[in-house]
Amino acid sequence: MGPQKCEAFLREWKERGIEEKKDFAILTAEVSKATFGMTPSEYKEFKNLPKQSKTNLRDHMNDLELIFTMLGERMTTELSQDEKPETFDKSKDVAKRGGKVAGNARIDAEKELGRPVTTRQNYLYITDKKKKLIDKSKE
């Protein structure tokens, strides 16, 4: 999801009165859990990414993983804009429902493909390789 789309997703929650970082994390985890069956921290572990790092999970997703992430977030945003939930619990319900739409689509895609959409593949090696190239260019 591009930065503008992700910002719209978070901005919608801000408009609903969500302000605490932990509340954003809880809602994001609900979307992810409904989409992929795992929270972002569980997903990082699944992809063998450093636990407490600032590594952005999206940077390690394949195209399909990103598409279903975007679908869950966009559906959640649309539902929230339509329903205008007034409490955290109502926003949490919207997050679960938005993620479920993406989760159902992911399951359908996996049936058609005959394989999971989620992969353990990450791009740490590629990222490290780029860093080394950048560092060498500074010499």
Write out pLDDT tens, residues 93-122: 999 999 999 999 999 999 999 999 999 988
Check if the beta carbon of residue 84 is closer than 8 Å to that of residue 16: yes
The reply to whether the predicted model has a pTM over 0.85 is no
**Distance, CA of 48 to chain centre:** 16
Long-range contacts of 76-82 (CB under 8 A, 24+ apart): 76/9, 76/12, 76/27, 76/31, 77/8, 77/9, 77/12, 80/12, 80/13, 80/16, 81/12
Question: Residue 19: its pLDDT value, please?
Answer: 80
**What value does the mean pLDDT take over residues 12-24?**
84
Question: Residue 23: its pLDDT value, please?
Answer: 87
Least confident of 8-12, 21-25, 103-107, 110-114: 8-12
Report the alpha-carbon distance of residue 75 to residue 81 in Å, rounded. 10
